[in-house]
Structure 1
Amino acid sequence: MLVHGMVVSSRYMTPVVERLGAYYPVYAPDLPGFGKSHKPGRTLSLAELADALVAWMDAMGLGKVVLLGNSFGCQVAVACAARRPERVSRLVLQGPTTDPRARGALGQIWRWLRNAVREPAGMMSIMLRDYWAAGFLRSLRTFREVLRDAIEEKLSRVKVPALVISAEHDPVAPVDWGKKVAGLLPEGRHVTIAEATHTAVFHAATEVMRATRLFVEGEPLPERIGAIERGPNFIAAFDSSTGMLRATALGLRGEDFPGLGLRHPLAPLVRLGNRVPALLRETVYAVAGWTEAVPTSRLGRLDVEEVSRWVARQYPEKRYPAIFVGSSNGALVHLAVAMGVPWLPQTFLIPVRHVRGDVNDMRGQLAWSKEPGRALLEANPELSLSHMHDPNQDQLMSAYMSYFRVKRRTLGPTYEQFLAERLEPGGTIFVVECGKSWPVTRISDQHWFQPGAVGGLTPEEYQHGSARVREFLRARGASRDRWDPAPTDAVRPEAEWGFLEELRDDITRVGQRLGARVRRVIFEDPQELSPLVADLYRDWYASMGRPGTRLLVDSFILMDPWWTLRTGSVPFWTTFPVEPSADVLEAYLRKVEPYEHMHAMLFSHGVESAGLAHLERWRAILGQARGESGFVGVDERAFPRDFAVLVNYNTQIKEKIPSRFPLPAPLSLERLDAFLRRAGDRYAVRWLDEAVGLAERATAA
């Protein structure tokens, strides 16, 4: 049960209600005199508000509850726990008032003003409306109650376990005061929410939810909880591997995936970007990518093991029944989150600054990459490097940077340690092997140039041209009608999605040492895993009595595993909003029981790339739903220059998909295997025990 702060209603606590509601029944009443509750003729005292809370619990038929208060709500919660201890099982106090060092009216007003400038605009609009609804006199008299109550004198009478949550940048209830409150509670504990202000329940709800869940479930609590780390500043934050890593880690932490997991303070400004002219939008998009790129002078000093250490830090510190290692794949993200297990990516993107040359001159791009590639590989010999150059989909980004995609050839010490410490004894290591390959040009033994990439065009079109390539280049004002890459002399794992097999031998070695079961997940195209995972979710939902009639189509890194589960949606991941992805989705829908509802996200590359599937086709596909369908987060007037979709998708999932379900227990290995046995050879995905694979290779030898 949540208890709101002074004068405001419980509306501002909706974000934490949504997140806690995935795990527990949650109640957030408006206290008498505030919000939508009855307005008594006089202002109730603190004790009367506590008694009213218990009376409301009686009316709702509630027994013992966990009370979670914010600000003045902490004072009400403490009074309730002290007066009626039999009704409170645990206490969570986020930003408890009032610090006695500033208990006077002027001191409190000054602290609130300092906090107000740090609060999100959405919080301030809620406060103004609620203060107006409560009225000046009630607000003033409640403020007197806040100042009159010496909360520290009651804390010793709270006989239940209690958690004090401080916000790092909260001038109203500073961290040192929060620690003192925790110390005065007989069973008090303390945690700090990083980068948060006084109303963390509103703008840092996921962190408050995580702290509360750890406390309620009796799990170890860290001293500090913060948003997921962005990652080393030499890897791309916007790429498939980093985005999917954040989505997986947040899903395992019980959190959603807003703003691609970055929570950038300027994210709201992205929404305004769709209102500027298209050419300016393209320029801003390209320059934004350039700001993430690494100067060539740094490449010889990079330590890619730092990436592995970052990956390991993102996951909850516990043992897991299984761990995935290998190719990046959006369908795999949903599978890993459903199973509650981590994924360790093989591939990462290092964007390298490169502002000279023609983006359509592939030979010039290849010649330039030789020296910076040599420097990177000399510093990190455990890597294989693909300079992936796609002047079609990456036309904007490639104007100011080069895509150096690196793959681990060995696990390295950090991944090995992660497997040893986090895998349960006898657990399973899944090797995720996407067999997608691409013709390349050799630069050195571990350095390759890849002309083009997975998307709307074929490898042949990048090398020899086509009518749609000519049309694209003409529309971009290029002085050529096709690209002319250097002759290719090998076929290698595709830079972004393909699996480099050298890593498998190292995983097998470590698996044998740990006594783990090593299983291979093998598929040729990155989207071949999507139908299997979608049907697995549908089967899993049916076992829980859930409908499984709502399809949510992901696009590249536009996804949200937590909200997919929370809304009872079936995930279907597509690489990009291109014709081959539309084909895969249509083929899937022809084979399965029709969905009642279908929604789709569409990632924007910023250009009308060749092979792009336009909105009309996506509308036609979604229109096959028996009921409601449409786009999520997409500004149809701006697509494919719709950069606001990067922040709108998460908000609109919640707005456009109203269904809510408690998060299920993790999907077990036994249920996965039972589904695979029933499926037989229905899917283009092989699940192979490495012990069998070793026997096959020995026979072949």
Structure 2
Amino acid sequence: MAHIQGEPVLVPAGDGRELYAQVLPGPGTGPAVVFEAGAAASRSTWALVQPLVGEWARAIVYDRSGLGRSAPDPRSRTLRRMADDLGRVLDHFEPGPFILVGHSAGGPIVRVAAADRPERITGLVLVDPTDEAADVLFSPGFRKLERVAIKVNLALAHTGLLGVAYRGMAKALPADAARDVRREGFTAGIVRTHAQQARTFLDELAAFREDTPELGELPTTVISGKLAGGGMNARLRAAANASHAFRVAQSPRGRHVFAERSGHHVPVTEPEVIADAIRRMVDGGNRQGG
């Protein structure tokens, strides 16, 4: 039986690495949709969204190096390097154009990749993205919290309990994607990749305040979770959503959408909200204030 996320494809990264992707071919000739997961997440994050989009567009998911089925990267996992890898994914699946969809830490990654080659990008959908407009991200307290969370997750992975901590999320996915997550998503290697990414991510993101990725007039939809939870208390939620409103205001074709029943993990809790936002962009319906 075919996998719900499509056929596997190995994407050369140009230095001996290969990135594992899955593709739903979709009908029609509109933009292809490429999904970028959050910090420690794999392609399986999108297992509820991608099939909805695959009904009417080519829908592509992939694993960053060191996550899912993609081999680790011997070099530092900087934001710049991750965006370059996404660029290679886009190169592999040319011709475009592409809509880029990024969740959480995937938001900055797709913004950098879009700014690199804006002529092949139709628009961005940022799902509860990490954004430099949120001052709280750069506080000593937040950085300490991130380091502690990574250490705890590494300990849980070594004892086999990390999957237990996240079993609710895996259970919400389709059966084949859930099996993938249980097999691939809760290893010590995954946590080490997250730690490697985290070493420079916030510093690189802070630099965006002085040198923002230039997106011109690209349509940009930002989807915010409405609820606290998923690692975000009420203060962090308010700061995140304020930063999302700021990001929308920077685009002449920006649109702000709220996932009313969701915290941070919108791709799992309200996949239809994301699919609807992508469909609207494909149909050319994205307008300021939508």
Same fold (TM over 0.5): yes
1 CA distance for matches of 2:182 and 2:224? 21
Aligned equivalent of 1:49 = 82
Task: Name which of 144, 169, 182 aligns with 2:199.
Answer: 144
SS at match of 2:102: strand
**Are the equivalent residues in 1 in contact too, given 2:72–2:193 (CA < 8 A)?**
no
Task: Name which of 193, 211, 215 aligns with 1:158.
Answer: 215
Query: For 1:535-684, what aligned pairs fall within 5 Å after superposition?
Result: none
- Residue type of the partner of 1:189? R
- Residue type of the partner of 1:95? D
Identity fraction in percent: 22
CA drift of 1:202 comes to 1.8
- Residue type of the partner of 2:257? V
1 CA distance for matches of 2:286 and 2:251? 18
The answer on 1:167 being equivalent to 2:225 is yes
Aligned equivalent of 2:100 = 67
CA drift of 1:49 comes to 1.3
1 CA distance for matches of 2:188 and 2:117? 30
1 CA distance for matches of 2:170 and 2:225? 16
Aligned equivalent of 1:31 = 64
2 CA distance for matches of 1:105 and 1:64? 40
CA drift of 1:110 comes to 4.9
CA drift of 1:145 comes to 3.1
- Distance verdict in 2 for CA 1:154–1:68, change over 3 Å: farther
**Are the equivalent residues in 1 in contact too, given 2:252–2:288 (CA < 8 A)?**
no
CA drift of 1:143 comes to 1.4
- Distance verdict in 2 for CA 1:188–1:180, change over 3 Å: same
**Are the equivalent residues in 2 in contact too, given 1:152–1:184 (CA < 8 A)?**
no
Task: Name which of 183, 193, 208 aligns with 2:249.
Answer: 183
**Are the equivalent residues in 2 in contact too, given 1:16–1:205 (CA < 8 A)?**
yes
TM-score normalised according to structure 2 size: 0.66
Aligned equivalent of 1:107 = 142
Task: Name which of 151, 154, 168 aligns with 1:121.
Answer: 168
- Residue type of the partner of 2:137? A
CA drift of 1:132 comes to 1.7
CA drift of 1:210 comes to 1.2
- Distance verdict in 2 for CA 1:19–1:222, change over 3 Å: farther
Residue-by-residue CA offset, 1:186-237 (whole Å, 9 max, x unaligned) = 432211110211120122101111122123323367979xxxxxxxxxxxxx
TM-score normalised according to structure 1 size: 0.29
Q: Which segments of 5 or more consecutive residues in structure 1 lack a partner in the other structure?
A: 114-118, 225-701
SS at match of 1:138: helix
Larger Rg: 1
**Are the equivalent residues in 2 in contact too, given 1:152–1:181 (CA < 8 A)?**
no
**Are the equivalent residues in 1 in contact too, given 2:111–2:213 (CA < 8 A)?**
no
Query: For 1:200-349, what aligned pairs fall within 5 Å after superposition?
Result: 200-219=266-285
Aligned equivalent of 2:258 = 192
- Distance verdict in 2 for CA 1:213–1:105, change over 3 Å: farther
The number of residues matched between the two structures is: 220
2 CA distance for matches of 1:53 and 1:19? 22
**Are the equivalent residues in 2 in contact too, given 1:120–1:203 (CA < 8 A)?**
no
SS at match of 1:157: coil
Q: Which has the higher contact order (CA 8 A, sep 6+)?
A: 2
Pairwise CA RMSD: 3.2
2 CA distance for matches of 1:100 and 1:187? 25
- Distance verdict in 2 for CA 1:85–1:43, change over 3 Å: same
